[in-house]
Chain A
């Protein structure tokens, strides 16, 4: 049997808006992914630790706090620090994120940013196609 893709859905920082994160977690689970949800108010260290400990393939970070440019790179750096390899994972961000910041986040190593209203089917498709692509690219 093929190994299920493991996804960490994470809320980082002080922001309590968890509707998007929870709905996403539920739908990804229903789409056949293995989903771990961090719960609320996690620090970048806690999210990174969970990503490494749980050996996930995808880290999905949800923010509605405007703190994405400060917190997302920290998560990525801590994953590396704790012995994980962000280049082998998909790093996804979702929430209220201005266009200019999307460009910035991608420079920081984020694979994609999903804005409000994104159909979850699109996120599912993205994970299924991009995860093997990214890993293949890193092998070569």
Chain B
């Protein structure tokens, strides 16, 4: 090391300095997208404090820096899972079948806003929004159509849904029952992460405490009934989309994860039973190495947390498995084909970071939901990385890079600092700390400030966005745009009316009364939700009962 140190000094003095004096460089200071300053070059001294065996090691072993599986993509490629849904259940079923035919390996459901917010298609609040940004679901009837011809024992399905997550899980179980697939076998994920909704995504219905109570109900019910199903997808994606840095995304996501684990432990759930059913969801943004470092740091942090802080015994419980989506907020409306390139770089970072599944954005998404052509290119991007690039053939190929290891460590350290601040807010409890941070606006302020900083850099031309504030052209939009049939709302309301007329309304009433009594008496709400779903109660009716018992949440305004 002394030799290297001497050499480094000599190089700085004799080689770098005169060069800089003569040629200069583009910037005074170079930094990552998160604002972490980076040096000209990295060498063994920068990672001297890291121990290969302890901090980096081998894939499939603690601390899993290099991946959760020993051979990663040599065994099985990541799941190619395109977030997809629009119009009615029929429209989405058709798009899903196209994607499966084209080589997609998992389903991922986009719901419309009324469904996401737990209101029915005939609610006045839903007017104009039915089927617009995702598929409209009111009752089990819609799910029957959505999964028509899709065998649940052969596919895994992800559901981006939060306040009504338990209802959607119950619907999926009910479909499995109808297809005679044992519920113990169904695979998939419900997002079910309300904490990040309060921080960033704003799909808000119930206040924080009851939201958390229901999530833990789902954990408790889920470990018993659907042991192969991810009961939560602890999400940094939306935190990042709302404008956070990579470090904040990492820190707040891990902090939320800790809060959920603490809430589950308080309920008396065995951590080693729950842990394999936890999953994560990250963003992959433009800064290639920073993103890779973030994914590697996340795995190492979670392994330490689960083993050392919460005492999980089973090595399987130490795994951080995650889904990645490329950064929607990085897409530009201008020169839309450029987005294919952005998405490719981001997708490569996700694969090099060891993701378990991946959604690649379509190039037209700053304009509308993706057209068939655009979504095909997005899927092909993953297939080209998988089958042509050679990237998946060696596990964690960037390990040992002085820069990547330094940056991984740096991200981890910066994230820990946030986590310790949050823990302090909760007087030693992450659960209380996160709730306090929601209450006092800590998370929202942190994210808003970062978003404003990012925008300021663009406004000032300090940050270049190709085609937006540099290399701009006069252009006419020449890409096909997906149009959602304007008749969707009417058709959906008609179907809802028909279901309500044909179902056993007495059974619905009884199930909803059971749900009310369970909520009032602090019992697990999942069994009555299951019953309500089976009797074709609507999402709005079920959420309505929960709103009556728990009240609704109005977010304080922090700009």
Contact = CB atoms under 8 A, between A and B. Distances in A.
Partners in one complex: yes
Interface of A: 13-19, 22-23, 25-27, 29, 37, 39-41, 43, 64-67, 69-71, 96-100, 115-117, 119-121
A23 B367 contact: no
B510 to A, nearest CB: 30
A66 B332 contact: no
Given A23-B455, A96-B367, A119-B469, A16 B204 contact: yes
B128 A70 contact: yes
5 contacts: A14-B119, A37-B557, A66-B132, A67-B132, A117-B465
A19 B113 contact: no
Given A66-B368, A98-B368, A119-B458, 6 more contacts: A14-B126, A15-B113, A18-B242, A22-B448, A41-B117, A66-B133
Nearest first, the 6 A-B pairs at minimum CB distance are A70-B128, A16-B202, A66-B132, A14-B113, A67-B128, A115-B333
Nearest to B481: A98
A121 B455 CA distance: 11
B551 to A, nearest CB: 16
Given A14-B117, A26-B559, A116 B366 contact: yes
Contacts of A119: 458-459, 468-469
Interface in B430-486: 448, 451-452, 455, 458-459, 465, 468-469, 477, 481, 484
- Provide the main secondary structure of the chain A interface: loop
Given A18-B202, A27-B455, A67-B129, A116 B368 contact: no
Interface string B121-136: 0000111110011000
B56 interface: no
Contacts, number: 108
Contacts of A29: 559
Contact of B202 (A17, A97, A121): A17
A65 B132 contact: yes
Interface of B: 113-114, 116-117, 119, 125-129, 132-133, 197, 201-204, 241-243, 329, 331-334, 365-369, 448, 451-452, 455, 458-459, 465, 468-469, 477, 481, 484, 554-555, 557, 559
A22 B451 contact: yes
Contact of B129 (A13, A27, A116): A13
Contacts of B133: 15, 64-66
A25 B451 CA distance: 12
A13 B333 CA distance: 23
A70 B133 CA distance: 14
B555 A39 contact: yes
Contact of A99 (B332, B334, B477): B477
Contacts of B125: 14, 43
Contacts of B557: 37, 39
Nearest to A70: B128
Given A19-B329, A22-B559, A14 B129 contact: yes
